[in-house]
């Protein structure tokens, strides 16, 4: 049968969308997105040049590959172990829109579609993720008034620990036969392992819902919980110390879910369960999953425990200062990262990267703290403007910069001499010599208001004084204007 003959039906009608909305109590815009997800997946896994290297993951992996009736997810998440060319990806998504329009008459706003490399707030921080946005017109003939959007994230060099699965696409609409196909998807156990890892790093109600739904409400697909645990530990820094992460998971501050639970979830009433029930079952599941694990008292020397960790991550999310007591001294610090890194002597532990505001404002004081010397920590309401990327959303996973030293030169990295403990056994007092203090951290760029000449400073100081003009011909007395910050 030819491709043209296969697509004998036009897109589902507005009446079907309305009926689905009535049956499920889901907004029509969410149903339209879910419908379009099915067509996009069909194209990407049957026609695109990336069909053999992409795999679906995240919330829509559950809805489109494993469970006919679970929550609606707002975007599509993909991974690939390879690199992708951004322009080629743009071309493929444009071709996908043209194909879907031809088969369904869905109207796309091609000129608004975009694919960009996803960054943090600072463009120097690359996440190895392409973020695509695709815009389309409302199915109800309101195209002059309503434009809807779907988002796709594609993670390059994405590592998976279990074999990628080939499973039938779930498309619960009347034209399902037209796009019946198999899609490549992360294995269910690994999807759940990634959801569990996300529980360590962010406050996101859908992560907990997906875990509880898949384990408790799913009656059709057996789940190997030991495999979930194994992959979860492999994806985190706790593989050799599961007792640490067990305690962290059991002490997660899940109270926030009660306020956001209903608004954060898009699902039918027949599968909905309340936040209190979810938290109770989560606690039961973690206790069961790690029932053979006993506490290791030595782990306190290598990891930040649950209470301190919760305070640190809260400060990172809210961009607020922390009041800490470290080696007996009280300090006000800006939190930036928790990284598990290895010293040149082979000892690996978690390091808490901070900017210490307690010292002189003219002498930047970057420090790293270790768990054993941190005796107290307290959240404050005082906001701070980050000086470079706050990376606490990655706490608990393996960092790219695993080592605190240069393995080729067999010596400690320059920035590490400032950002970590200065003594052999973990005291985090930082060397105070001025060159060391400036070896790591931001640099501020100012330009002269008169001649335009640029100056790079290691402190936020816009004063310029007399200087030669940009052309070098005469003295200039202009003042400095902030341009940018380099990291």
**What's the confidence (pLDDT) of residue 408?**
59
Q: What is the mean pLDDT of residues 342-349?
A: 87
**What's the confidence (pLDDT) of residue 350?**
95
Torsions phi, psi for 163 (to 5 deg) = -60, 140
Is the pLDDT at 486 greater than 60? The verdict is no
**What's the confidence (pLDDT) of residue 413?**
54
Arithmetic mean of pLDDT over the chain: 85
Q: What is the mean pLDDT of residues 59-83?
A: 95
Does residue 334 contact residue 355 with C-beta atoms inside 8 Å? Answer: yes
Is the pLDDT at 100 greater than 70? The verdict is yes
**What's the confidence (pLDDT) of residue 48?**
97
Is the pLDDT at 20 greater than 60? The verdict is yes
| Token code pair at residue 200 | 């360590």
Q: What is the pLDDT of residues 270-325, one digit of tens each?
A: 999 999 999 999 999 999 999 999 887 777 789 999 999 999 999 999 999 999 99
Determine the Cα angle at 105 with ends 149 and 71, to 5°.
Answer: 45
**What's the confidence (pLDDT) of residue 436?**
36
Which of 73-77, 82-86, 441-445 is least confident? Answer: 441-445
Does residue 283 contact residue 290 with C-beta atoms inside 8 Å? Answer: no
**What's the confidence (pLDDT) of residue 343?**
86
Q: What is the maximum alpha-carbon separation in the chain?
A: 81
Does residue 39 contact residue 102 with C-beta atoms inside 8 Å? Answer: no
**What's the confidence (pLDDT) of residue 465?**
73
Residue that has been written with the tokens 């992959």 in this structure: 231
Supply the pTM of this predicted model: 0.80
Is the pLDDT at 4 greater than 80? The verdict is no
Rounded to 10 degrees, the C-alpha dihedral 379/381/383/387 comes to: -10
Report percent pLDDT > 90 for the chain. 64
- Adjacent-strand bridge partners of 98: none
Is the pLDDT at 416 greater than 50? The verdict is no
**What's the confidence (pLDDT) of residue 464?**
76
Is the pLDDT at 98 greater than 50? The verdict is yes
Q: What is the mean pLDDT of residues 433-447?
A: 50
Which of 227-231, 327-331, 409-413, 459-463 is least confident? Answer: 409-413
pLDDT band at 424 (very low <50, low <70, confident <90, very high): very low
Q: How far is the C-alpha of 257 from the C-alpha of 274, rounded, in Å? A: 10
Is the pLDDT at 13 greater than 90? The verdict is no
Is the pLDDT at 248 greater than 60? The verdict is yes
Q: How far is the C-alpha of 326 from the C-alpha of 469, rounded, in Å? A: 48
Q: How far is the C-alpha of 282 from the C-alpha of 212, rounded, in Å? A: 7
- Adjacent-strand bridge partners of 339: 351
Centroid of chain to Cα 161:
19
């Amino acid at each position: 049968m030819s491709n043209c003959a296969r697509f004998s039906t036009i897109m589902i009608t507005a009446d079907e969308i309305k009926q689905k909305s009535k049956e499920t109590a889901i907004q029509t815009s969410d149903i339209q997105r879910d419908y379009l997800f099915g067509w996009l997946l069909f194209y990407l896994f049957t026609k695109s040049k990336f069909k053999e290297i992409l795999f679906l993951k995240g919330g829509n992996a559950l809805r489109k590959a494993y469970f006919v009736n679970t929550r609606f997810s707002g975007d599509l998440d993909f991974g690939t172990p390879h690199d992708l060319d951004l322009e080629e990806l743009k071309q493929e998504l444009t071709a996908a829109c043209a194909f879907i329009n031809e088969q369904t008459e869905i109207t796309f706003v091609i000129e608004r579609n975009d694919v960009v490399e996803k960054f943090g707030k600072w463009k120097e921080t690359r996440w190895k993720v392409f973020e695509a946005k695709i815009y389309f017109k409302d199915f109800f003939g309101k195209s002059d008034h309503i434009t809807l959007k779907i988002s796709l994230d594609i993670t390059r060099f994405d590592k998976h620990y279990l074999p990628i699965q080939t499973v039938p696409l779930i498309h619960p609409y009347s034209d399902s036969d037209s796009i019946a196909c198999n899609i490549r998807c992360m294995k269910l156990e690994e999807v759940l392992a990634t959801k569990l890892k996300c529980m360590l790093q962010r406050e996101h109600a859908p992560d907990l819902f997906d875990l509880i739904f898949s384990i408790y409400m799913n009656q059709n697909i057996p789940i190997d919980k030991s495999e979930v645990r194994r992959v979860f530990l492999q994806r985190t820094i706790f593989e050799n110390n599961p007792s640490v992460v067990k305690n962290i998971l059991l002490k997660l501050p899940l109270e926030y879910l009660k306020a956001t639970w209903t608004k954060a979830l898009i699902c039918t009433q027949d599968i909905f369960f309340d936040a209190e029930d979810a938290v109770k079952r989560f606690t039961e599941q973690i206790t069961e999953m790690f029932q053979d694990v006993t506490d290791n008292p030595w782990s306190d020397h290598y990891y930040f425990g649950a209470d301190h960790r919760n305070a640190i991550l809260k400060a990172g999310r809210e961009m607020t200062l922390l009041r800490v007591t470290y080696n007996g001294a009280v300090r006000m610090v800006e939190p930036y990262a928790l990284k598990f890194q290895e010293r040149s002597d082979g000892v690996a532990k978690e390091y808490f990267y901070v900017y210490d505001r307690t010292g002189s404002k003219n002498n930047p004081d970057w420090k790293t703290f270790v768990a054993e010397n941190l005796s107290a920590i307290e959240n404050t309401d005082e906001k701070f403007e980050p000086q470079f990327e706050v990376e606490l959303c990655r706490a608990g996973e393996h960092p790219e910069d695993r080592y605190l030293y240069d393995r080729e030169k067999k010596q400690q990295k320059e920035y590490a001499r400032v950002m970590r403990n200065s003594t052999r056994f973990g005291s985090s007092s930082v060397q105070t010599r001025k060159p060391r203090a400036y070896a790591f951290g931001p640099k501020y760029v100012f330009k002269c208001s008169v001649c335009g000449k640029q100056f790079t400073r290691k402190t936020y100081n816009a004063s310029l004084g007399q200087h030669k003009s940009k052309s070098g011909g005469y003295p200039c007395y202009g003042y400095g204007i902030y341009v940018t910050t380099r990291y």
